[in-house]
Structure 1
Amino acid sequence: NAIGGVPTPLEAQGTGAPGVSWLDAAIKSLKLTTSLPPLSSPPIESVNIDAMSVDFSCDTCTWAPGAVASISAKTNLPFSGNVPIVQLSQHVEILDQNGQVVGKLDTPYAPAAATGSIVTTTTPSAPLVVDDGSHEIYEGFIRDLNAATTYQMGLRGTTDSILDLGALGMVEVKGIVIDVFAPVAGLQGLKQVDFISTITADFVAVVEVNTFVDIHNPSNLTLKIGDLHLTAVADFVSKAVAGTAVIKDLTLVPGDNRVVAKAGVGFEGAGGDLALAILISSDPIPFNLMAFDDATPNVALNAGLNELQTTVLLPPHMLDGAPPNPPYSLTDMALKFLPTTVDDGLVEMTMKYLNPFIGSGYTFLHLFDPQDAASNPRGVLKSGSKVFEFLDDLTFTLSGNDTATVTFKVKLHADPALDRNFYQSLVTESASGRVQFAMNMHPIISLGQDPTQYMPDWDSAVIAFGIGGVIPFQAGSDFGLILNWYDKQQVPVVEATPVATPSPTSTTDAVMPTSPAPSPSPVATTTVDPAPPAITVV
């Protein structure tokens, strides 16, 4: 009662002094009666919301989103030293910045800790129940919280507590009044969305790109949104629809959120100019995004996000330009011919792989087509000609900003379109310490813990766009073994067929003039047929 502001009578009864009989009797007869005055200040002076998580994605979350909060409360309770509160529960109304009721939150008891007069706790997940009459207030609350730099959120109601009074045991104190406004860092419109890397791209019927982006959340709010569908517009005035962007199963945490966004732009209507800019522009392209009524499955959240507008700057030359963060180094690639190469055609290739998905690990699962080729780019090559084929044994995982230097085997390809003069030209070029090759590479990868598989285009035509689409491989004197391998492919292996020698004592049957002469037995030969051209994925 005293904590709640009501004068409270207090009676203290002596319990004795064991060991001293006369004092024990005196203490037991002692009885004091007094009154605890009400607190002169509110029992909870202020609250700081250190972190808060809201789940908008569940089936029942439209008007009852799940909420979890970590809070620190400054108390004015009549205790010396640390406030002995060890558990707290809340029964509060959440208010918007105008003092209107957004919803009601009731949480069960949860552990609490105190340092001096500051009590901290993390509430268990509980639904924020929005009554029918508060729907518009709730939608406005989301909208304002999204736009604000700092938002004042009200808490009004009571909190119950369990106090540890030591020898006196645990005491439950109910109905501690709370009526405060707490500052919450807002989302600031989620204006900072940065392009990191292209994952996959399709430029046939539409411009469809899987991009890796970073959504910066400046608040201390964690928002579980689910699938987010944004609309690409030509500009924020006309709002002419140009395309879409979809982020699957989105949960925004405070700080950086690196996620996959699938963007699509058609070649007609308002999307035509944007699609053309994405394909050919030499300048960064603004990709304007808005949230409309169908942004998420949660209609209340959609109403709150209907003023969300953000712009992502896409890099120039998305069709044929080098990505801002390449997947492998163009200066750390090497070829090594082994003594066994002449017989088996296997060559060691070394590549230094980088992580184009900054802040997220990825796993190189395998190659989509192991017969993708490293081939010489000069005009003497016919379409599809190749020097090497990959084997299906390349796999690794990169974390964060790590790099991986990987050595693996590639197989020389006997291409009938390439003669000895061509291979001799490669050997001549290798005398400089480098041999230039174009390389096709379409790996199957997954990002972080997401099992979704992607097939990016890591061809040298894209990655090495700025240096002509070719890669300078380091080569040593062992490169000359490629001629030995080539020569061995061209020399057929002849297996002689044994011919029976007649015995000196044998006789030869006469052949009648009307009998046809027998044909000689053929001599068996073995030749190496060139392998059929491999399928190259574009």
Structure 2
Amino acid sequence: MKVSTQILATSAIAFTATALAMPSMSKRVIDGTKVLGCLASTFMKGDEAWSPECAAAAATDIGLAQEVSLGEFDIDFASSDPMSMPISLPNLQVRLASLPGTSWPIVSLANHHNIIDNGVAIAEFDFPMAPAEVKDSIVKNPIERNVVNILPGLEDAFSNYLANIITKPSYTFSIGGNVDASLKVPSLSGNSKSSDADSSKTLTATNIGISAPVTVRGLDNLQKIEYVELVSLTKDADSGVTTVAQKLNIHNPSELSMNIGDIALNILNANGDLMGVINIPSLYLAIGDNAVTATATFTDPDTYNTLTTKSNTFTLAGFDGSVKNPILAKALCSFVSHIAFPKLEAE
């Protein structure tokens, strides 16, 4: 649908009545009115209307973003720098406040945000300008591989944030910061014979303040870790150590896939006593089912008989050396799941 600059300008002004109708501080109202006036002027006059004063006023969150959805996303915890983790957000989208009578003419966005947990900014990301697609009030802005940086001194807070995502079925936090938006609007030219390419122009509005809640589906302690098949079962005659290599299926119910690297989990019995350790090398935990080969090492010399005479259920628990990444390792200290072994048959 072709929309005139006059309609866009009128809609931007009308947005004041909806975005600013909520109870708010006077600064939000003043800056919001200023920003919307700047948008209207930019639609009518071009980039030169977006002045430094407009950018300064836009830094105040005026309620433009209503909600952020990450969708399915990926974090690489096996990178060399634990403070800077590669992240991909191919399904990132933002629900904006409605622009009366039309859609936001956004064609690309650059994101500069903090991850905020319990009211504290714990990490930041700075994504360059990337294409965006708008339908109704939803902006889709997929982000290819980039990085999220933990703020210095907030390592423990970020570990706690990860622990909540790992152990809970869902978790809500927020993002806050600003975006630079490229807007495609009709040209002021009245020449009806001009092509579509000639009859529109791309304008840029910078430093627009954004904050919104984000809810992600969590790992829920990976409650479905299932024994699939025995690979080998041995007992060392000298040490009494029992080693079980087995194929497992780990179901990840979350929206987060993770490159974890080598991982070790403590094996506990029903009394909470440490029985051994289970190791999974080079674990990439995809969303959904994951077929892996794991090796469990039991130090109790009686374990071999226990495993070969009856079925057993063990608790799997993270500890501070579970993975190489120290921030993820601290988060995994909260992880607790279970695995059930049938009676094992030695070959």
Into which bin does the TM-score normalised by the smaller protein fall?
0.7 to 0.9
Corresponding position: 1:162 with 2:182: yes
Give per-residue Cα distances to partners, 1:258-279, cap 9 Å, x unaligned. 111111223xxxx234332112
Go from structure 1 to structure 2 and tell me whether the alpha carbon gap of 1:299 and 1:261 turns closer, same or farther (over 3 Å shift). same
Q: C-alpha distance in 1, partners of 2:262/2:41?
A: 61
1:304 offset after TM fit, Å? 0.6
**Counterpart among 288, 292, 313 of residue 259 in structure 1:** 292
Give the conservation status (yes or no) of the 8 Å contact 1:89–1:123: no
The residue aligned with 2:135 is: 115
Residue in structure 2 matched with residue 503 of structure 1 by the alignment? none
- Aligned partners of 1:278 and 1:319 also within 8 Å: no
Match of 2:219 in 1: 187
Q: Where does structure 1 lack aligned partners over 5 or more consecutive residues?
A: 16-35, 321-538
Q: CA deviation at 1:164?
A: 2.1
Aligned mates of 1:80, 1:291 — CA distance in 2: 53
Alignment of 1:342-421 (within 5 A): none
Q: Which has the higher strand share?
A: 2
Task: Give the aligned partner of residue 298 of structure 1.
Answer: 325
CA contact (8 A) 2:43 2:185 kept: no
8 Å CA contact retained: 1:101, 1:137: no
Alignment of 1:1-400 (within 5 A): 5-7=32-34, 8=37, 42-60=63-81, 62-69=82-89, 70-76=91-97, 78=99, 80-96=101-117, 98-166=118-186, 167-205=199-237, 206-235=241-270, 238=272, 240-266=273-299, 271-281=300-310, 284-319=311-346
Which amino acid is 2:205 matched to? Answer: V
Listed one character per residue, the Cα deviations across residues 480-524 of structure 1 (whole Å, up to 9, x for unaligned) are: xxxxxxxxxxxxxxxxxxxxxxxxxxxxxxxxxxxxxxxxxxxxx
After TM superposition, give the deviation of residue 138 of structure 1 in Å: 0.7
**Counterpart contact for 1:113–1:121, Cα < 8 Å:** yes
Once the two structures are superposed, the pairs formed by residues 513-528 of structure 1 within 5 Å of their partners are none
CA–CA separation in structure 2 for the residues paired with 1:170 and 1:150: 39
Distance in 2 of aligned mates of 1:176 and 1:143: 31
- The structure where helix makes up a greater share of residues is 2
Q: How many Å apart are 1:249 and its aligned residue? A: 0.8
Is the Cα–Cα contact under 8 Å of residues 258 and 286 in structure 2 kept in the other structure? yes
Change (3 A) 1:319 1:14: closer
Percent of pairs with identical residues: 22
Please give the alpha-carbon distance, in whole angstroms, between the structure 2 residues aligned to 1:117 and 1:182: 17
CA contact (8 A) 1:233 1:288 kept: yes
**How has the CA–CA distance of structure 1 residues 319 and 118 changed in structure 2, closer, same or farther, with 3 Å as cutoff?**
same
Distance 1:12 1:142, change over 3 A: closer
5+ residue gaps in structure 2? 1-11, 16-30, 46-53, 187-198
The answer as to whether partners of 1:107 and 1:125 remain within 8 angstroms in 2 is no
SS in 2 for 1:133: coil
Question: Which amino acid is the alignment partner of residue 260 of structure 2?
Answer: I
CA-CA distance at 1:183 after TM superposition: 0.8
Q: Over residues 385-409 of structure 1, what are the superposed CA-to-partner deviations in whole Å (9 max), with x where a residue is unaligned?
A: xxxxxxxxxxxxxxxxxxxxxxxxx
Q: Tell me how far 1:77 sits from its aligned partner.
A: 5.6
Q: Residues 172 and 318 from structure 1, CA distance in 2 versus in 1: closer, same or farther, beyond 3 angstroms?
A: farther
Alpha-carbon distance change, 232 to 114 in structure 1, aligned in 2, over 3 angstroms: same
Q: Secondary structure at the match of 2:263?
A: strand
Residue type of the alignment partner of 1:52: F
Q: State the distance in 2 between where 1:158 and 1:208 align.
A: 53
Compared with structure 1, are the counterparts of its residues 203 and 178 closer, same or farther at alpha carbon in structure 2 (3 Å cutoff)?
Answer: same
**TM-score computed with the length of structure 1 as normaliser:** 0.50
The one-character-per-residue Cα deviations of 1:103-153 (angstroms, maximum 9, x if unpaired) are 111111222111111111211322221122211211111111111111002
- Give the Cα–Cα distance (whole angstroms) in 2 for the partners of residues 255 and 46 of structure 1: 25
Work out which structure has the larger RCO, using CA pairs closer than 8 Å and 6 or more positions apart in sequence: 2
State the SS of the aligned residue for 1:227: strand
Rounded to whole Å, the distance in 1 between the matches of 2:292 and 2:112 is 36
Going from structure 1 to structure 2, the CA distance change for 1:125 and 1:92 (only over 3 Å counts) comes to same
Q: Quick one: distance in 2 between partners of 1:132 and 1:165?
A: 41
Aligned length, in residue pairs: 289
